């Protein structure tokens, strides 16, 4: 592993005080979020999240001649709240865009050159996502989430919406708590879909169903294809020759399978992951370049790769690629388009020419690549943790071409705990990390036990152990780098958002490793989360901790709010006031407890923000405020001119 730079000829500048061109203004002023790649004939579409437009999601079309144009004009915002995390917010057919508008959650149709027209009724809280076109019947089929009954949880179904009449939609499939991935065969005669029930999440176990589409548009008797309580299914998709493919983790890894003659057969058999956790709709890891060739992406040891599969022989061929993170893969006979990134590349929309192997960048998340002299590429690390096991992460040493630190000095270390907790962090250039490393602060981005990308057994480490395994792995990762001489044991920082915020607060409350922390919309009361959060996650903790309220004592034992007297180091809290996933009271109660205990604390709430910040001004304020807070607590003066954050009990 690369060690921190030491100063030449006795000149030095303390860690944390380095002046960097990677500023908060650069990050929010020139960066956009990219994703949700779609195809419609020869046109390519993707969604852009634009902080400069207060987080508005814009669908962008690129035509074969290279021209790009926004499709949904302001103020329309293509973002659905189904499952609250959304995804699958739009589809395109014959140049016509169908999308959910965030403000009213109504489904709209926008024909080429036209303006959006509402298809679903005004005033009814009915939300759609993951829609596919049924051309034969002139309708959309998608996941519908019905919030009309105020005294019960939302009702999820698969429904069809007649494009001539609009309205509420016609329910095709019901009876399960959740549905995803409606997938219509190319001849319109069969529909496949996923379903699951509480307390499972889709990555714990779900089912793949198949039914014939009747002449009147209803479905015949459904047949269970695969899945169960302990088998996770991902991305059912029909091949051009009418074969149903899907991803399953029945082998212990998410591999590709297909249904042939009523029997399921393996297409890949690797110790690698061809699937991802379905936090959002519309994710894709493979597609068909004709009936005999699949282009796919998979992750192994934390890195993503591309490959081609011959559907006749099942020959598997890796495709050379500079990308270590690959998502939203969409394939045609001539090319593959995806969102990709690498240790030296921010996220971008990429086209791979399948004939030549040439990669072409269609859209960058940043306007220009940052100067490599200020970039610290990620280093993959594995480190020992509890019970003789191994955990993983990405280490970023401090690096700035203009500054160095004195020999023998060790940098502060910022440990990042990702959200989910079922999820992962990935190896690509993130300016939000380079913001820290270019100022002289090392970063460890941890894939603690429970993370995806390392097989089902690793993912299941967290079951029954949330608030134990994740905290231990973050602490042991920090200790490992201290032992390697790569971090100052007295200047260890931990931060995280959502579930990562819970891990952060837990590490600061129940362990004595870190000196300071930052919680972004983090959980402090697990019982409160179980009682108050939205439907999708309302039983998530049954598997991670135990059934509630039967296991209430365990919930309280692992909730920082019930042990706030043990939290004796400074914490800064950032919270969106419209968050429906982790309610603001989770942060506010913890802040009040720290005030009462006279521990240094700062609270920065943001009006108009939900779960995750999307507005440029708020992203900038949070990033700079976090740096200011660490400087005050750890005793260094950032080179940046930062608006102070009010710190109580300092």
Q: What is the pLDDT of residues 290-315, one digit of tens each?
A: 999 999 999 999 999 999 999 999 99
Give the mean model confidence (pLDDT) for residues 109-134.
96
Strand order of the β-sheet with 107-110 is: 90-93, 96-100, 107-110, 117-118
Query: Is the pLDDT confidence value at 9 over 60?
Result: no
Strands 117-118 and 107-110: antiparallel
Enter the tokens of residue 601. 């604390």
267-288 burial code (b ≥16 CB/10 A, e <16):
bbebebbbbbbbbbbbbbbbbb
Tokens (6 digits) for 156: 């999820």
Four-residue CA torsion sign, 573, 575, 577, 582: negative
pLDDT at 11: 53
Query: Which residue, 503, 535, 532, 540, is CA-closest to 518?
Result: 503
Instruction: Tell me the C-alpha to C-alpha distance, in Å, between residue 401 and each of 9, 164, 640.
Output: 15, 62, 17
Alpha helices (runs of H) in 419-511, residue ranges in sequence order: 431-437, 456-459, 469-483, 499-510
Other C-beta atoms closer than 10 Å to the C-beta of 265 total 10
| Mean pLDDT, rounded, for 478-493 | 97
Give the pLDDT mean for 235-241.
Answer: 98
Query: Mean pLDDT in the chain?
Result: 95
- 3-state SS string over 275-304? CCCCCCECCCCEEECCCCEEEEEEEECCEE
Q: What's the chain's length in residues?
A: 650
Query: Could you tell me the CA-to-CA distances from 225 to 131, 231, 245, 249, 265 in Å, in that order?
Result: 21, 12, 11, 14, 11
Q: Render 310-377 in DSSP notation, one character per residue.
A: ETTT--EEEE--S-SEEEEEEE-SSEEEEEEEETTEEEEEEEEETTT--EEEEEESBSSPPPGGG---
Other Cβ atoms within 10 Å of 610 Cβ, number? 19
- pLDDT score of 6: 52
CA–CA separation, 109 vs 144, rounded Å? Answer: 17
Q: Under a CB-based contact definition with an 8 Å cutoff, are residues 443 and 20 in contact?
A: no
Q: Are 630 and 15 in contact (CB under 8 A)?
A: no
**pLDDT band of 5, cuts 50, 70, 90:** low
Residue 10 confidence (pLDDT) above 50: no
Q: For residue 571, give the nearest of 611, 626, 640 by alpha carbon.
A: 626
Q: Are 180 and 247 in contact (CB under 8 A)?
A: no
**Rounded to an integer, what distance in angstroms lies between the CA atom of residue 339 and that of residue 322?**
13
Question: What is the phi/psi pair of residue 536, to 5°?
Answer: -55, -40
**What integer pLDDT is reported at residue 133 of this predicted model?**
98
- The closest of 71, 456, 19 to 232, measured between CA atoms, is 456
Chain Cα centroid distance, residue 271: 22
| Contact between 242 and 185 (Cβ < 8 Å) | yes
CATH superfamily of 8-25+370-634: Alpha/Beta hydrolase fold, catalytic domain (3.40.50.1820)
Q: Would you kindly state where each structural domain of the chain is located, as residue ranges?
A: 8-25+370-634, 284-365
Q: Cα–Cα distances in Å, from 2 out to 393, 486, 628?
A: 15, 9, 27
Mean local confidence (pLDDT), 359-366: 94
Q: How many CA atoms lie within 13 A of 228 on its CB side?
A: 4
Q: What is the mean pLDDT of residues 502-521?
A: 97
- What does the pLDDT average to over 145-160? 95
Q: What is the DSSP letter of 504?
A: H
Mean pLDDT, range 581-601, rounded to an integer: 95
pLDDT value at residue 616 = 84
Is 593 a residue whose pLDDT tops 50?
yes
Residue 156 vs residues 536, 581, 627: alpha-carbon distances, Å = 10, 18, 42
């Amino acid at each position: 592993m690369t060690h921190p730079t030491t100063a030449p000829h006795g000149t030095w500048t303390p860690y944390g005080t380095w002046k960097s061109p990677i500023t908060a203004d650069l990050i929010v002023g020139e960066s956009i979020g990219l994703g949700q790649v779609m195809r419609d004939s020869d046109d390519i579409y993707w969604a852009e999240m634009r902080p400069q437009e207060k987080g508005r999601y814009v669908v962008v079309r690129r035509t074969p001649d290279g021209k790009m144009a926004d499709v949904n004009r302001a103020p329309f915002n293509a973002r659905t709240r189904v499952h609250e995390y959304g995804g699958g917010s739009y589809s395109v057919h014959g140049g016509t865009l169908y999308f959910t508008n965030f403000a009213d959650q109504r489904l709209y149709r926008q024909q080429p050159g036209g303006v959006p027209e509402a298809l679903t009724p005004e005033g009814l809280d009915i939300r759609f996502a993951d829609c596919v076109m049924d051309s034969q019947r002139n309708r959309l089929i998608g996941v519908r989430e019905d919030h009309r009954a105020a005294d019960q949880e939302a009702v999820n179904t698969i429904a069809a919406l007649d494009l001539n009449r609009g309205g509420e939609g016609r329910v095709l499939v019901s009876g399960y708590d959740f549905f995803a991935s409606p997938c219509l065969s190319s001849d319109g005669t069969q529909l496949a879909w996923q379903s699951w029930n509480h307390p499972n999440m889709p990555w714990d176990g779900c089912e793949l169903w198949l039914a014939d589409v009747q002449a009147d548009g209803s479905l015949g008797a459904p047949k269970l294809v695969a899945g169960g309580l302990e088998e996770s299914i991902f991305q059912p998709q029909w091949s051009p020759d009418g074969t149903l493919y899907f991803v399953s983790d029945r082998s212990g890894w998410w591999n590709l399978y297909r249904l042939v003659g009523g029997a399921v057969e393996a297409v890949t058999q690797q110790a690698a992951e061809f699937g991802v956790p379905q936090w959002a709709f519309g994710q894709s890891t493979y597609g068909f370049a004709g009936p005999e060739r699949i282009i796919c992406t998979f992750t192994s040891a934390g890195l993503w790769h591309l490959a081609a599969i011959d559907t006749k022989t099942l020959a598997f061929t890796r495709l050379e690629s500079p990308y270590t993170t690959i998502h939203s893969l969409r394939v045609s006979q001539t090319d593959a388009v995806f969102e990709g990134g690498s240790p030296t590349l921010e996220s971008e929309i990429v086209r791979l020419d399948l004939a030549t192997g040439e990669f072409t960048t269609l859209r960058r998340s940043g306007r220009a690549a940052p100067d490599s002299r200020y970039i610290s590429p990620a280093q993959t690390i594995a480190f020992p943790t509890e019970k003789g096991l191994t955990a993983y992460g990405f280490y970023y040493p401090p690096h700035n071409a203009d500054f160095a630190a004195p020999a023998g000095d060790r940098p502060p270390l910022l440990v990042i705990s990702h959200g989910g907790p079922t999820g992962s962090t990935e190896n690509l250039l993130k300016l939000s990390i380079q913001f820290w490393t270019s100022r002289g602060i090392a970063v460890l981005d941890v894939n603690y036990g429970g993370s995806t990308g390392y097989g089902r057994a690793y993912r299941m480490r967290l079951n029954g152990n949330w608030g134990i395994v994740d905290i231990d792995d973050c602490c042991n990762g920090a200790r490992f780098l201290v032992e390697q001489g790569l971090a100052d044991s007295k200047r260890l920082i931990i931060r995280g958002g959502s579930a990562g915020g819970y891990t952060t607060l837990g590490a600061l409350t129940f362990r004595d490793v870190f000196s300071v922390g930052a919680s972004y919309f983090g959980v402090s009361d697990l019982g409160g989360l179980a009682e108050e959060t939205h439907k999708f996650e309302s039983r998530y903790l049954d598997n991670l901790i135990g059934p509630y309220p039967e296991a209430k004592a365990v919930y309280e034992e692992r909730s920082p709010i019930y042990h706030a007297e043990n939290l004796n180091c400074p914490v800064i809290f950032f919270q969106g006031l419209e968050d429906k996933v982790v309610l603001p009271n989770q942060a506010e109660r913890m802040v009040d407890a720290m005030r009462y205990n006279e521990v240094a604390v700062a609270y920065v709430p943001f009006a108009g923000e939900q779960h995750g910040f999307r507005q440029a001004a708020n992203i900038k304020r949070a990033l700079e405020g976090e740096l200011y807070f660490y400087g005050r607590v750890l005793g260094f003066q950032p080179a940046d001119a930062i608006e102070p954050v009010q710190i109580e009990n300092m």
